[in-house]
Structure 1
Amino acid sequence: MLFNSPDFIIFFIFVVSVVVIFKYRKFQHLFLLVASYFFFYYTSNYLIILLIFSTLLDFYAGREIWKSQNITRKKIIFSISLAGNLGLLGFFKYADFGISQINAVSHSLGFESIPFLNLALPIGISFYTFQTISYTADIYRGKLEPSKTLREFALFVAFFPQLVAGPIVRAKDFLPQLREKMENFGTNRLSLISIHDRNLKLGITIMAFGFLKKMFFADNIAPMVNDIFSNPIGLESFTIILGTIAFGIQIYGDFSGYSDIAIGAALILGFKLPLNFNKPYFATSPSDFWRRWHISLSSWLRDYLYIPLGGNKKSTGRTYFNLMTVMFLGGLWHGASWNFVVWGLLHGLYLAVHKLILNKFPILKNNSFFKSKIGKIVSISVTQYFVFLAWIPFRVHDVDSMMYSIEKYVLIDFQLISLFTTASQHRFAIGLIILFVILNFITFKKPNLVESISNMRLSYWILILIIIMSSILFFFDGNPEDFIYFRF
């Protein structure tokens, strides 16, 4: 039921937070912290201990790293912080996966299997561990001063709008906003929020489009995706390609929808979170795709993994190795399953091949053809062909089904009767896909559309919100799909 789902609970806590914070601004940070911990406890129960552990570990580790003048001591403390965070993440997320791999080998050798731990995956652990790691890493590099108070740092780690599925926020972006609010508190009168407040209107508009992406598009496309990929063997190419396109749109609507909801909610509460998606399906190259898709993760992997490994400053071969390593770990970050590793390695291969081509043919870097309209269409089409190909292993876990689906996607064999049958069975979802493409193209051509809507006259703005919410409610079937990235 909707009222028992985490997304409804987060929305309920958000509404209560807005009311309380704008009526009693003096206590806003304390209330936000309590609300964040309540949300995490509601969704994860006793596993809130892990969140508290990471918070305490990195708060005090950051302080000690900053105070220490001995580089060896700094490295030891930073290593302890890394070991604590990655140890928790590895144990709860990958222990059973590791046991399954050991059992596969031991079974072939005739040994007894190790029993599974059946650990519950703490919601948001992949996100808040990366946040706290970036905090101590930036302090270690001398790029960030440690948090002044434990309450301040705890709110940074547990801030509930983006706690469970990002964006991955960095302390250097979030902590200054907290401090500015505290410093400016004395100059502000206690008052209720005004409907004419710019951040309120923009935040609500961003949230509305987030709910539209998630509940109107992603949730209504999901049944077709589930129907196709629950047992894809035997289906012909058109159905597989349709399912692949549908899943690409579903995961985008689902994940970018959550990011929009988190960004809009945070904006209403007075905080600016980083952009997490920027029209990724209009990317013109693999590297351009990762500048547009899950930006907070891709930039994190670049700054805290790719560059420390040497980036592209070493030999050419080392650069390719670094790309493959980063994307391998990026795939594994998404889940303890080989299909995510395949997805990550495919993207690593795309990045490596793209860089290889540009190195071999430097004339292509600034070629006028790729700046023309036709050239951009070609670049986008080729890029998205491979991006959507990689969505197959992301969605299909079974190896046989995965390989069959990839074969049908690559080696096209259309059957006209099957094409019409599939289109007839899923005409509503296909209509949503077409509508999504049209709206996505409009927002690509008009990147400030959401902001323009938020600046409309109040009556027009409310009318658009009513249209959006009516569309969601009219097609809501009473069984909302969980956010896909809650699993990671």
Structure 2
Amino acid sequence: MLFNSIEFIIFFVAVLTVITIIKHKKFQHLFIVFSSYFFFYFSSNYLLSLLIFSTLLDYYIAKLIWTTQNKQRKKILLITSLAGNLGLLGFFKYADFAIMQFNILGNQINIGGGIPFLELALPIGISFYTFQTISYTVDVYRGKLEPSKSLREFALFVAFFPQLVAGPIIRASEFLPQLREKIEDSTSKINLKQIIIHNSNLKLGITIMAFGFLKKMFFADNIAPLVNAIFTNPIEASSFEIWLGTIAFGIQIYGDFSGYSDIAIGAALILGFKIPRNFNKPYFAISPSDFWRRWHISLSSWLRDYLYIPLGGSKKGSGRTYFNLLTVMFLGGLWHGASWNFVIWGMLHGVYLVIHRVIANKFPRIANSEFVRTKTGKIISILITQYFVFLAWIPFRVHDTEGMIYSMSKYIFFDFEFDEIIEILLAYKIPIGFMIGFIILHYISFRKSDLIKIIINLKLKYWGIILAIILSLIVFFFDGNPEDFIYFRF
């Protein structure tokens, strides 16, 4: 069920209606759980069983880990959880990829390679809810989190429909306490054991959702034709077209994915839950590490806490630090999809992080100079960082090796033929207009650090006018066919 479909709007309104009728939090939670299962079943059918399996596996294993005193048994239980979760993820997401690599290798060394593909359906959201349940079990194992005492609560944490399919990846330590706290009704000043849909939450949630729909349906979906036209077959495209397509894809994927996250955050807020932000103006990052503090924040923080730090982080010398960075980004790339292009994308970012760390270690005066902190220094840092960030978007978008190498070479060794630029700009004038509009909006949101807060503090009529403008823009340019979110594939 796509967020940008009429089915979701009907579904969400129905959920809100029932929530306001049910007066006890326990039954409200149960209803949201079953609503989430329906949401998942609507798109994935029988694959709902995998979500339920992961829920039951980690709920009961975490309880056993918490109660046992034997360290060896704790480790065995944790390994069982990891094997169950990663086994399902690996089988459904990477089995055909592994078979392909085996067949290629077999043909190269003349031992045959005719293993048939399994052609398994990829369960939507499996990469996201698997990481959520893993973090829960690991936190219990580390003694940082007491296991949930209610299967109802844990099932809601795992299956919560706003962020189920494409995140943000939420932590049990952030979400479970929200299920237990009492909500104060400001009109009666008493604590009620139920979910209250406050006017403030409703206004803020609707505003965040509106901007999410704007990013996805107005900007990303209308920029997509330019990206597809250039990168479906990039061979023979001019250097300027490659640059234009690369910038367009960077804007498209940001609008698409951050749009999804905004809709998820807004919908959750309306229901009375806070889930963490997933993006913070990433195209104004001043370094590779700063980019990953701003882009897909829930994933980058998960990789830091559950991979990078356990591997030793930066505490075991420079060489080990560089190895850890490359390993984490390799796995982060592979997490995105069973294809070498995602591995290349992840490794490029790993190399960026290593180079940035080397410069900071070897030339601390440059890294900490006054010039870097000036306006000019920040602008130069942003431009250099984004040059390499957008370079990495090419292997993310172009899957075939020949097209990828060609596109990256045209991006790096650009040879603009200026007599063609006007012709290309005119040919793609409509999507370029959307690109310019998005850049302006992104810049305004950067300059006004909390644009959403400014809007919700407006008088009701002005707030309503802004929402009406956003809705009109979306409806006017919507062709009636909702486009998939890019991260649904991961």
Normalising by structure 1, we get a TM-score of: 0.96
The whole-number CA distance in structure 2 between the counterparts of 1:36 and 1:399 is 39
Which secondary structure does the structure 1 equivalent of 2:294 belong to? coil
- 8 Å CA contact 2:231–2:245 kept in 1: the answer is yes
Match of 2:118 in 1: 117
The whole-number CA distance in structure 1 between the counterparts of 2:30 and 2:329 is 38
1:257-288 Cα offsets, whole Å, 9 max, x none, are 00000000000000000010000000000000
1:23-61 Cα offsets, whole Å, 9 max, x none, are 223231111011000001111000001000000000001
Match of 1:328 in 2: 330
- 8 Å CA contact 1:6–1:43 kept in 2: the answer is no
The whole-number CA distance in structure 2 between the counterparts of 1:183 and 1:264 is 20
Shift of 1:188: 3.0
Unpaired stretches in structure 1, ≥5 consecutive residues: none
1:223-270 Cα offsets, whole Å, 9 max, x none, are 110000011111111100000000000000000000000000000000
The whole-number CA distance in structure 2 between the counterparts of 1:306 and 1:251 is 26
Match of 2:419 in 1: 417
Amino acid at match of 2:308: Y
The whole-number CA distance in structure 2 between the counterparts of 1:5 and 1:328 is 30
Over 3 Å counting, the alpha-carbon distance change for 1:183 and 1:139 in structure 2 is farther
Unpaired stretches in structure 2, ≥5 consecutive residues: none
Normalising by structure 2, we get a TM-score of: 0.96
The whole-number CA distance in structure 2 between the counterparts of 1:25 and 1:235 is 61
The whole-number CA distance in structure 1 between the counterparts of 2:263 and 2:367 is 37
- 8 Å CA contact 1:23–1:190 kept in 2: the answer is no
Amino acid at match of 2:488: F
Within 5 A, what are the aligned runs for 1:21-420? 21-26=19-24, 27-108=27-108, 109-181=110-182, 187-188=191-192, 193=197, 197-420=199-422
- 8 Å CA contact 2:182–2:192 kept in 1: the answer is no
1:278-304 Cα offsets, whole Å, 9 max, x none, are 000000000000000000000000000
The RMSD of aligned alpha carbons is 1.7
Over 3 Å counting, the alpha-carbon distance change for 1:193 and 1:171 in structure 2 is closer
- 8 Å CA contact 2:206–2:270 kept in 1: the answer is yes
The whole-number CA distance in structure 2 between the counterparts of 1:182 and 1:471 is 36
The whole-number CA distance in structure 1 between the counterparts of 2:259 and 2:299 is 16
Over 3 Å counting, the alpha-carbon distance change for 1:125 and 1:379 in structure 2 is same
Structure 1 outlier segments of 4+, above 6 Å? 182-186, 189-192
The whole-number CA distance in structure 1 between the counterparts of 2:484 and 2:473 is 19
Shift of 1:448: 1.3
The whole-number CA distance in structure 2 between the counterparts of 1:277 and 1:115 is 40
- 8 Å CA contact 1:10–1:161 kept in 2: the answer is no
Amino acid at match of 1:141: R
Which secondary structure does the structure 1 equivalent of 2:416 belong to? coil
Shift of 1:135: 0.1
Q: Indicate yes or no: 2:13 matched with 1:15.
A: yes
Which secondary structure does the structure 2 equivalent of 1:478 belong to? coil
The whole-number CA distance in structure 2 between the counterparts of 1:182 and 1:479 is 39
Shift of 1:7: 4.1
Which secondary structure does the structure 2 equivalent of 1:31 belong to? helix
The whole-number CA distance in structure 1 between the counterparts of 2:17 and 2:234 is 49
Which secondary structure does the structure 2 equivalent of 1:142 belong to? coil
Shift of 1:88: 0.4
Amino acid at match of 1:162: Q
- 8 Å CA contact 1:283–1:289 kept in 2: the answer is yes
Shift of 1:186: 8.3
Match of 1:459 in 2: 461
Which secondary structure does the structure 2 equivalent of 1:187 belong to? strand
Number of residue-to-residue matches in the alignment? 483
